[in-house]
Amino acid sequence: MGDAASNLVFQTIVNFIAFYYTDMVGTLFLVVRVFDAVLDPVMGAVADRTRSRWGSFARGWSGWPCRSAPRRC
């Protein structure tokens, strides 16, 4: 009987966390996946049409983190 209060608190927290992870975080993941599904073809079209002094897609869009990394360190 003395452990009933701590079990009540524990079960309340566990039930809240289960609701939070399934409804709130799951909805956030769904929104992010839909956003990514829309943005990927758009970014692909932008990258295909880009011409820069470093070349086409492979160096123009993929290489910018490599060129900017020394400035961040």
- By residue range, what is the domain housing residue 16? 4-72
**pLDDT band at 26; cut points 50, 70, 90:** confident
Q: What angle do CA 59, 73, 55 make, to 5 degrees?
A: 10
Into how many domains does the chain fold? 1
Two tokens, residue 18: 């289960």
Q: pLDDT (tens digit, 9 = 90+) per residue, 5-25?
A: 889 999 999 999 988 888 888
Task: From residue 48, give the alpha-carbon distance in Å to each of 44, 53, 55, 59, 67.
Answer: 6, 15, 11, 12, 20
Q: pLDDT (tens digit, 9 = 90+) per residue, 32-71?
A: 999 999 998 988 888 778 777 666 655 556 656 665 656 5
